């Protein structure tokens, strides 16, 4: 079993890591991508990343740093809602061991990283790299986990990297006027909370996921099947 998460655009250096850093499996391929991004002008970065001029300038300066000049632990390098609600800084030793064993963080730059992998700052979206079409570049990632059950807590954009794997897709939806919709902010919070729940309870049997209840989400037997687990947040 593996759990997959999307990365976040917002990153941070964390110097209070939880032990020695490991090396990303596809570091050589990541280095090629990084060098390509270093060669882009501010205008080219703005076009490829589909961002504003201010972000493009900051990204240009970020890519002036030598690759892996400064690295920090992948688990604590991302700063979005998913990771905030996972609260990795509060993991005890047993929970951290679980996370190191089961969690993978997907990445346009690295393909995927383990929680303990040392990574540098980058900004690279899967759909915004012209010279290196990234879905093609990372097309063989799924082969690493062909015998695993994948708990998919990643966005659709990133989970496509693992297409072909045996996946259980987790959906967090809200009931609104009799319809079920995904509220992005709440769903991100719930994804992080579910990872924390799995670590706390040391879950290895996927059936145990159905007991998850947080942020007013509850498992729905009626909406779910063996490949899709739905958690509903009832209308208030």
pTM of the model: 0.94
User: Residue 236: its pLDDT value, please?
Assistant: 60
More confident residue, 21 or 82: 82
DSSP string, 37-57: HHT--HHHHHHHHT--HHHHH
How many structural domains compose the chain? 1
Taking only the tens place, the pLDDT of each residue in 48-95 is 888 999 999 999 999 998 887 788 899 999 999 999 999 999 999 999
Please list, residue by residue across 21-37, b when 16 or more beta carbons sit within 10 angstroms of its beta carbon and e when fewer do: eeebbbbebbeebbeeb
By residue count, the chain amounts to: 236
Taking only the tens place, the pLDDT of each residue in 215-226 is 999 999 999 999
What six digits make up the tokens of 233? 């947040």
- Print the domain residue range for 200: 2-233
Taking only the tens place, the pLDDT of each residue in 88-115 is 999 999 999 999 999 999 999 999 999 9
């Amino acid at each position: 079993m593996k759990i997959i998460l999307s990365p976040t655009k917002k990153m941070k250096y964390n110097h209070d890591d939880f032990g020695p850093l490991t090396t990303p499996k596809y570091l050589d391929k990541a280095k090629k991508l990084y060098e390509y991004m270093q060669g882009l002008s501010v205008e080219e970065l703005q076009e490829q990343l589909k961002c504003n001029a201010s972000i493009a300038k900051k990204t240009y300066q970020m890519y002036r740093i030598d690759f892996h000049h400064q690295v920090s632990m992948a688990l604590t390098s991302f700063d979005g809602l998913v990771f905030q609600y996972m609260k990795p800084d509060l993991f005890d030793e047993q929970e951290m061991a679980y996370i190191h064993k089961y969690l993978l963080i997907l990445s346009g730059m690295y393909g995927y990283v383990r929680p303990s992998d040392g990574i540098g700052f980058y900004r690279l979206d899967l759909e915004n790299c012209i010279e290196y079409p990234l879905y093609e570049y990372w097309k063989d990632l799924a082969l690493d986990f062909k015998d695993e059950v994948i708990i998919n807590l990643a966005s659709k954009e990133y989970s496509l990297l693992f297409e072909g794997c045996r996946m259980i897709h987790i959906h967090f939806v809200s009931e609104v006027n009799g319809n079920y919709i995904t509220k992005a902010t709440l769903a991100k919070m719930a994804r992080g909370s579910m990872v924390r729940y799995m670590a706390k309870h040391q879950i290895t049997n996927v059936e145990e996921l159905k007991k998850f209840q947080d942020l007013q989400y509850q498992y729905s037997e009626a909406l779910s099947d063996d490949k899709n687990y739905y958690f509903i947040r009832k209308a208030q």
